[in-house]
Chains A and B, each alone.
Chain A
Amino acid sequence: MKRFSESVKIAFQSLAANKLRAFLTMLGIIIGVGAVVAMMSIGYGAQESVISSVQGIGSNLIIVTPGNREEESHGFEQMIGEDKDRKALTVNDVRTIEREATLLNGAAPAILNSSVVKYLNKNQRVTVYASSEKAEFIYNFEVDKGNFYTSSDVLNSANVVLVGQTVINKLFGRIDPMGKIIKIDGKNFTIIGTIKPKGTDQFGNDQDNSVTIPITTAQNKLYGIDYVNMIIAQSKSEDTMKQASYEVERILRRAHNLAPDEKNDFTVQSQTQLLDILGTITSIFTITISSIAGIALLVGGIGIMNIMLVSVTERTREIGIRKAVGAKNKDILLQFLTESVVLSITGGILGIAFAVTVSVLLNNFTILTTNISAFSIILALTFSTVVGLFFGIYPAMRAARLNPIEALRHE
């Protein structure tokens, strides 16, 4: 034990004797570890906020979108807008699903668009969520003041609207918005309620800069269309998600009169699948960045090996002295190995400190959410130890194998 603590002491002494050199050597490790930890924190942060925002819209959701996502060649056609399937889903589909499904709490259509709203002389560009009365529960719109639009509002294409907090602040300031008339794309709408603040989503979008109106009003009076962007259905329980998804698929195939050999003109995805996809995207991001950082660590390791070889040459005489007074080969090996590990772990700790700083700054001053996990810190420390051991072993072995007589003669 005394020998080991002596090794650690010697290691710090010899690093302190060459502070600048030690720091420059560690820089590779600092950058490598810093990059790994910082990038992982961004990756995890993104993953978490995506997951929470997907879960935030409600639970046990089944999402139906137009077009068959499984057909790969479709992507391009969809992009140039020649896809007939774009119009595949309608409000009638929602009604059919609601009428026939046994495993669902309900279903709501949705059209998302960006429009300018106007009150007196003030303008604001907002996101318009058009849906049915079911959206209050399925989408988790929490009403602050007033009431959500009703089924009869939807049936009658009523010009009613609920507004988010940002819209209230921008258009009304301190004035009570209830009952006021605003213009959306030039049409008059009466404010019947306000929505509780939701904050920003993972992409930094202000979710409160939005209004919601009945879907029929949007279709008939604003956009002049008869289709919807998506349908969101809610399964009665988590256990029946799969069966519920099949049920929705079956109902829609029949409603669309698809022959058995025809492909779906829509895609049914469960919330879990969506989460999986998003998870995959963020973990690919994390892996890519981490492997780049891994290369930085490798380069840092080579730097350590280089400096340790220099150190062995410089301290040949010291090695000779130690061997003359009874140091065994393994004592010398341990001493130099300790030194390279101390070098790399110190670099690792500084790198973590650097990453924590970066991550806190990103969290506070940018739209990125970061999360430093214990796992990434342990991983970084393990990696830097391994780098120290791996790149330190060769120089340490060279030191250990020196002939004491020649080492003592070395100038």
Chain B
Amino acid sequence: MEDCKENNCIIDITDITKTYRLGKIEVRALRGIDLKIRKGEFISIMGPSGSGKSTLMNIIGCLDTPDGGSYFLDNTDVSQLKDSNLADIRNKKIGFVFQTFNLLSRSNTISNIELPLIYSKRGSEKTRKAKIYESLKAVGLIGWEKHKPSELSGGQRQRVAIARALVNDPAIILADEPTGNLDSVTGEEIMSIFQNLNRNGKTILLVTHELDIARHTNRIIYLRDGLISNEESIENPINADQMLATMPKLEDKVSKSI
């Protein structure tokens, strides 16, 4: 178990529980989870469907609140917050990346990346533009600013989503099956972006089915029946850039700047 005493934990979860009521049946989705994530970690959560993965992600992502236990995000207790405060936390502390990208189909790349900034009050127009440009650069999408999601490939869409997650400089990035809808080469490219971000100090939490993907991270948490069943540290994570070099090219690279 990690030690959180020096305030170096981004996420400090202690004994959280969550029970759903479906008609007359009670589903105990989480039955007491302890999880500490240090700043700068790249960690993955694995588990079969029904293991409570999604529920845990929703709680960590402040889309939902736990029934019991405590949850400190960046040293703030977020387990008892109201809707509007949770929205604020999601806006400033969390960057979501989804399996299905979840971009606004009518908006172009820039507008999609800008979305979190619209809901945060801080920042002038100038710093806003600088932030968007920086995120755009980080995912290698310079030159694709005016394109709509329908004009982009799957990999490019996921890059837009990652740029959107980055734009408000969140404490943690939550990626829910980010490679699930992509072919293996494109998936590897996305993992390469995550590894680069992590090397630059970003804390990233990844949820995945695939062990191959999970092995790109430093630590794997195994979830089963609402409890952590196992935990594994990866001494030598797979390096996505090296993997890519050995793989055939399926999708043209957008930019070499990553």
Nearest-neighbour CB distance to chain B for A314, whole angstroms, equals 11
Pick the contact of A323 from B87, B104, B118 — CB < 8 Å? B87
Q: Which A residues lie within 8 Å of B237 (CB)?
A: none
In the assembly, what is the distance between CA of A325 and CA of B164, in Å? Answer: 9
The 3 closest A-B pairs by CB, nearest first: A326-B91, A326-B119, A325-B116
B234 interface residue, CB < 8 Å from A?
A: no
Which of A68-76, A125-133, A138-146, A327-335 contacts the other chain? A327-335
Nearest-neighbour CB distance to chain B for A315, whole angstroms, equals 10
What are the interface flags for A382-393 relative to B under an 8 Å C-beta threshold, 1 for contact and 0 otherwise?
Answer: 000000000000
Q: Which B residues lie within 8 Å of A328 (CB)?
A: 83-84, 87-88, 119
What are the interface flags for A1-41 relative to B under an 8 Å C-beta threshold, 1 for contact and 0 otherwise?
Answer: 01100100000011001000000000000000000000000
Q: Please, which residue of chain A has its CB at the minimum distance from the CB of B123?
A: A2
A324 interface residue, CB < 8 Å from B?
A: yes
Q: Please, which residue of chain B has its CB at the minimum distance from the CB of A320?
A: B102
Q: Please, which residue of chain A has its CB at the minimum distance from the CB of B92?
A: A326
Does A324 lie within 8 Å of B63, measured CB to CB?
Answer: yes
Nearest-neighbour CB distance to chain B for A9, whole angstroms, equals 9
What are the interface flags for B81-106 relative to A under an 8 Å C-beta threshold, 1 for contact and 0 otherwise?
Answer: 00110011011100010100011101
B239 interface residue, CB < 8 Å from A?
A: no
In the assembly, what is the distance between CA of A331 and CA of B91, in Å? Answer: 13
B244 interface residue, CB < 8 Å from A?
A: no
Interface size of A in residues (CB-CB distance below 8 Å): 23
A405-B102 CB under 8 A given contacts A326-B90, A329-B83: no
B-facing residues in A272-312 (Cβ within 8 Å)? none
In the assembly, what is the distance between CA of A328 and CA of B64, in Å? Answer: 14
Q: Which B residues lie within 8 Å of A17 (CB)?
A: 106
Not counting A321-B104, A325-B164, a sample of 12 additional A-B residue pairs whose C-beta atoms are within 8 angstroms of each other reads: A2-B118, A3-B119, A321-B115, A323-B90, A324-B61, A324-B90, A325-B90, A325-B115, A326-B88, A326-B116, A327-B119, A405-B64
What are the interface flags for B201-219 relative to A under an 8 Å C-beta threshold, 1 for contact and 0 otherwise?
Answer: 0000000000000000000
Does A405 lie within 8 Å of B120, measured CB to CB?
Answer: no
B58 interface residue, CB < 8 Å from A?
A: yes
In the assembly, what is the distance between CA of A323 and CA of B103, in Å? Answer: 13
CB<8 Å pairs between A and B, sample of 10: A318-B104, A323-B63, A323-B90, A324-B61, A324-B63, A324-B102, A325-B115, A326-B88, A326-B91, A404-B63
A326-B120 CB under 8 A given contacts A13-B106, A321-B102: yes
A317-B102 CB under 8 A given contacts A325-B90, A328-B84, A405-B58: yes
In the assembly, what is the distance between CA of A190 and CA of B167, in Å? Answer: 97
Pick the contact of B115 from A320, A322, A405 — CB < 8 Å? A322
Does A408 lie within 8 Å of B91, measured CB to CB?
Answer: no
Pick the contact of A331 from B58, B119, B164 — CB < 8 Å? B119
Q: Please, which residue of chain A has its CB at the minimum distance from the CB of B176?
A: A408
In the assembly, what is the distance between CA of A331 and CA of B87, in Å? Answer: 11
A-facing residues in B92-142 (Cβ within 8 Å)? 92, 96, 98, 102-104, 106-107, 115-116, 118-120
Does B118 lie within 8 Å of A6, measured CB to CB?
Answer: yes
A-facing residues in B152-189 (Cβ within 8 Å)? 164, 168
Interface range, B side: 20 to 34
Does B98 lie within 8 Å of A408, measured CB to CB?
Answer: yes
Q: Which A residues lie within 8 Å of B98 (CB)?
A: 408
In the assembly, what is the distance between CA of A14 and CA of B106, in Å? Answer: 8
Nearest-neighbour CB distance to chain A for B97, whole angstroms, equals 11
Q: Please, which residue of chain A has its CB at the minimum distance from the CB of B90?
A: A326
In the assembly, what is the distance between CA of A276 and CA of B64, in Å? Answer: 68
A-facing residues in B47-66 (Cβ within 8 Å)? 58, 61, 63-64
Among B90, B106, B119, chain A packs the most CB atoms within 10 A around the CB of B119
In the assembly, what is the distance between CA of A330 and CA of B83, in Å? Answer: 11
Nearest-neighbour CB distance to chain A for B251, whole angstroms, equals 24
Q: Please, which residue of chain A has its CB at the minimum distance from the CB of B164?
A: A325
Nearest-neighbour CB distance to chain A for B113, whole angstroms, equals 10
Pick the contact of A3 from B88, B118, B164 — CB < 8 Å? B118
Q: Which A residues lie within 8 Å of B107 (CB)?
A: 13
Q: Which B residues lie within 8 Å of A323 (CB)?
A: 63, 87, 90
Pick the contact of B102 from A2, A3, A331, A408 — CB < 8 Å? A408
In the assembly, what is the distance between CA of A175 and CA of B175, in Å? Answer: 99
Among B83, B87, B88, B106, chain A packs the most CB atoms within 10 A around the CB of B87
Q: Please, which residue of chain A has its CB at the minimum distance from the CB of B161?
A: A321
Does B104 lie within 8 Å of A325, measured CB to CB?
Answer: no
In the assembly, what is the distance between CA of A3 and CA of B114, in Å? Answer: 12
What are the interface flags for A207-219 relative to B under an 8 Å C-beta threshold, 1 for contact and 0 otherwise?
Answer: 0000000000000
In the assembly, what is the distance between CA of A321 and CA of B116, in Å? Answer: 10
In the assembly, what is the distance between CA of A257 and CA of B91, in Å? Answer: 94
Q: Please, which residue of chain B has its CB at the minimum distance from the CB of A317?
A: B102
A325-B106 CB under 8 A given contacts A405-B58, A405-B63, A405-B64: no
Nearest-neighbour CB distance to chain A for B131, whole angstroms, equals 14
Q: Which A residues lie within 8 Å of B63 (CB)?
A: 323-324, 404-405
In the assembly, what is the distance between CA of A3 and CA of B102, in Å? Answer: 21
Q: Which B residues lie within 8 Å of A14 (CB)?
A: 106
B-facing residues in A74-133 (Cβ within 8 Å)? none
What are the interface flags for A380-411 relative to B under an 8 Å C-beta threshold, 1 for contact and 0 otherwise?
Answer: 00000000000000000000000011001000
Q: Please, which residue of chain B has its CB at the minimum distance from the CB of A324?
A: B96
Q: Which A residues lie within 8 Å of B90 (CB)?
A: 323-326
Pick the contact of A327 from B87, B96, B103 — CB < 8 Å? B87
In the assembly, what is the distance between CA of A324 and CA of B92, in Å? Answer: 11
In the assembly, what is the distance between CA of A370 and CA of B96, in Å? Answer: 60
In the assembly, what is the distance between CA of A397 and CA of B92, in Å? Answer: 25
In the assembly, what is the distance between CA of A330 and CA of B115, in Å? Answer: 16
Q: Which B residues lie within 8 Å of A322 (CB)?
A: 115, 119
In the assembly, what is the distance between CA of A66 and CA of B248, in Å? Answer: 108
B-facing residues in A23-69 (Cβ within 8 Å)? none
In the assembly, what is the distance between CA of A327 and CA of B84, in Å? Answer: 8
